[in-house]
Amino acid sequence: MKYLCPTCDREVAVGSHCPRCIKKKPRRKAARKSWEQEPSADGLDLPDEDFDYDDFVAREFGHAPHRKIGITWYWYAVALLLLALMLIGLFI
């Protein structure tokens, strides 16, 4: 089977490249893998080994301590009520 090359309208066998068009195309450089690092990113100003995390958090977010999140008393009451209702339903 043959098909027409879309760029030069020459008949070409299916599964092969057009010999005229393949010579015209410049060779591309091999694509960089997604996991490879760009050379320009080498030597970034990253923190050293003596990085103080607590100092960083204080500078970024201020010195105010964060609010402690806990369960309020009424959720314990709701849990006990549901547990009691399930036990009552189990024995009835």
Q: How far apart are CA 35 and CA 46, in angstroms?
A: 19
- Residue 6, in any domain of the structure: yes
Tens of pLDDT along the chain (92 residues) come to 787 887 788 888 887 888 887 776 566 666 767 677 777 766 666 666 788 888 888 888 887 766 777 888 999 999 999 999 999 999 98
In a domain, 8, yes or no: yes
Residue 42's pLDDT is 67
Query: Is 34 within a domain?
Result: no
Helix runs in the chain, H state only: 19-24, 53-61, 73-91
Structure confidence at residue 88 (pLDDT): 95
What's the number of domains the chain is made of? 1
Range of the domain at 12: 1-27
In a domain, 16, yes or no: yes
What's this model's pTM, rounded to 2 decimal places? 0.29
pLDDT score for 83: 97
Residue 75 within a domain: no
Q: Is residue 18 part of a domain?
A: yes
Start-to-end Cα distance in the chain: 79
Q: Is residue 46 part of a domain?
A: no
